[in-house]
Amino acid sequence: MIRSLRRPVVLTALLLPLVLTAGGAAQAGDRAGRPASPATAPAAAPVDRAELEARARAIETAIELIHVTSVPGFELAAQSVGVIGDDGFSSAYVKGGAMLWLTVDRGTLTEANCADGAIFGTGGGEVTCEREDGTWYRSTAGSHEYALAKDGYVVRISAARDAVSRDVLRGAAGAAHLANDQELDAVLPPLRERGGVRPDERGDMWPGREVPDNRPPVGAGG
Q: Is residue 99 part of a domain?
A: yes
Name the DSSP class of 201: G
Q: Is residue 44 part of a domain?
A: yes
Note the pTM of the prediction, 2 decimals: 0.70
DSSP string across 98-119: EEEEEEEEES---TTTTT-SPP
Is residue 186 within 8 A of residue 20, CB to CB? The reply is yes
Q: Is residue 220 part of a domain?
A: no
Strand partners, 74: none
Q: Domain limits at 162?
A: 17-23+39-201
Q: Is residue 208 part of a domain?
A: no
Q: Is residue 148 part of a domain?
A: yes
Question: How far is it, in rounded angstroms, from Cα 22 to Cα 92?
Answer: 18
Q: How many domains does the chain have?
A: 1
Residue 43's pLDDT is 63
From first to last of its 222 residues, what are the pLDDT tens digits of the chain?
334 444 333 333 333 333 333 333 333 333 334 444 444 446 667 889 999 999 999 999 999 999 999 999 999 999 999 999 999 999 999 999 999 999 999 999 999 999 999 998 877 789 999 999 999 999 999 999 999 999 999 999 999 999 999 999 999 999 999 999 999 999 999 998 544 444 444 444 443 333 334 333 334 333
Name the DSSP class of 58: H
Residue 47's pLDDT is 87
Q: Is residue 210 part of a domain?
A: no
Q: Is residue 7 part of a domain?
A: no
Q: Is residue 89 part of a domain?
A: yes
Residue 122's pLDDT is 76
> Measured between alpha carbons, how far is residue 79 from residues 48, 124, 133, 139, 196 in Å?
22, 24, 32, 27, 15
